[in-house]
Structure 1
């Protein structure tokens, strides 16, 4: 009995040690990407600044270092996402079957691409629709002075929610594989999901119906894609269950 307990304790310690090593690899990758982004910070900043026709202002020396760390941190987070996903996959890999390993491994690039796609979509909506709409409301009434910290904070408030929302297909596929969600439930809940997505679109856009609908439509399409992918996962799950029962 004592040997068995000691074995379990050693097994838990081994898993915790491996998890720590995986997290350390991820942390080192983040630091590496952060330093790399910090080196090229002027080029990255110039990319963002090229999409606006006004000069951003700083009101204190602290704003300068803030924007350096903010931009470098965002770049590092995005670049580290595949590394984190891979390390988590390597951690759970021993407990998966060969087929499960191949399927779950394909999730890693999909998670990164969807997150990046959400950022790009959110940034496009911000630069091409939301920001021009807000600037047009001024119509010469006020002097425009945009500080770098408030501009980038506002931009991140718009873009980051889209990056998270674009992970919806992966989340739904994962929950379907666990048996928590089914395609039928997603179809029956469609109107409620649309309502929630519409609210989310309204929260990240100015109070303009056209803008809110423009933002919500891609989210509706994303939900429909999620239902389709959920159907594929559900069918494969049922098929595996029937094959197991017939053995």
Structure 2
């Protein structure tokens, strides 16, 4: 049996299907472990998490409400100032608060660990790409993480407070009090925030679909009207039944769609330029 010479690397054996499953298992374990760690931290920091994060949009001193009031005062009007939320939050089930504590901890764990968890999954996927594909997808973890955080903050500071304020102040009759269950409030808040976070990933999805030849700027322009209708439908599904919330989500998504067209055009032009250079050579 020939021994490898000094300085030579031994040829790497091709991984079997079981080896790939084993590697995937450890990537998933580390990703889920990060979610568990952040979720545990959120669970232990109960007072800060609920008072300063989850329940903050239900109080008039929330940052978004204060900025709206300052904007209204500069315009010479107090119409944008919110002095009373007009609702109370209560828990009507024996295990309601504990169940919501667990749910919120898990959601915050996912939100905080998302960049690392995605990086773990990307570490498993990227070795299977061709060198050119790895080169073109450089920075994917960074852009996915940034867009996720931007969408999360947009949902928390813009969409959620306006939606909560609208729903809290809506009454069909003055004799009916708005007393919301804790689970209903948290479900509305988390759905809006996570929906915005994941939908802000549109440019990244378009990037990879364009590289794969599935999408093109011409195709996206052709179906622009259809896409806007789909965006409005999605906005209506994930938001409370009020027009303001739907518009707040539909507008940035429409803008992201236009940005995605530019991303697709840039990718297509770069590919065509590279192809022409190769043909010239």
- TM-score of the superposition, structure 1-length normalised? 0.86
Measured at CA, do residues 41 and 110 of structure 1 come closer, stay the same or move farther in structure 2, by a change above 3 Å?
A: farther
Alignment of 1:89 onto 2:122:
yes
Answer whether contact 1:157 1:204 (CA < 8 A) is retained. Answer: yes
Deviation at 1:93, TM superposition (A): 3.1
Task: Choose 127-136 or 27-36, whichever is displaced more.
Answer: 127-136
Report the CA distance between 1:102 and its aligned residue: 4.6
User: Relative to total residues, which structure has the larger helix share, 1 or 2?
Assistant: 1
In the TM superposition, 1:56-205 aligns within 5 A as 56-96=89-129, 100-138=133-171, 140-205=174-239
SS in structure 2 of the partner of residue 141 of structure 1: coil
Query: Is the CA contact (8 Å cut-off) linking 2:188 and 2:240 kept in structure 1?
Result: no
* 1:16 corresponds to 2:21: yes
What do the CA deviations read for 1:61-109 (whole angstroms, capped 9, x no partner)?
Answer: 3111111111111111112221222122222333345554354241112
Question: Which residue pairs with 1:233 in the alignment?
Answer: 267
Q: 1:127 to 1:157 in 2, by over 3 A?
A: closer
Q: TM-score normalised to the size of structure 2?
A: 0.76
Q: Deviations over 1:146-187 (max 9, x none)?
A: 211111112233333222211111111110010100011111
Alignment CA distance shift 1:91-1:127 (3 Å) = closer
- Corresponding residue for 1:52? 58
Are the counterparts in 2 of residues 41 and 71 from structure 1 also a CA contact under 8 Å? no
1:198/1:212 contact within 8 Å kept:
yes
Query: Post-superposition shift, 1:55?
Result: 4.4
Structure 1, 19-28 or 103-112: larger mean CA deviation: 103-112
Quote the Cα distance in structure 2 between the aligned partners of 1:26 and 1:128.
Answer: 31
Number of residues paired by the alignment?
241
Structure 1: segments with no counterpart, 5+ residues: 1-7
CA distance in 2, matches of 1:219, 1:176: 19
Please name the residue that 2:5 is paired with.
none
Asked if structure 2 preserves the Cα contact closer than 8 Å seen for 1:89 and 1:105, the reply is: no
Cα 1:19–1:244 change in 2 (3 A) is farther
Compute the RMSD of aligned alpha carbons: 2.5
How far is 1:246 from its partner? 4.6
Q: Which has the larger radius of gyration?
A: 2
Aligned partners of 1:205, 1:28: CA distance in 2, in Å? 31
The answer to whether the Cα contact below 8 Å between 1:176 and 1:230 also exists between their aligned partners in 2 is yes
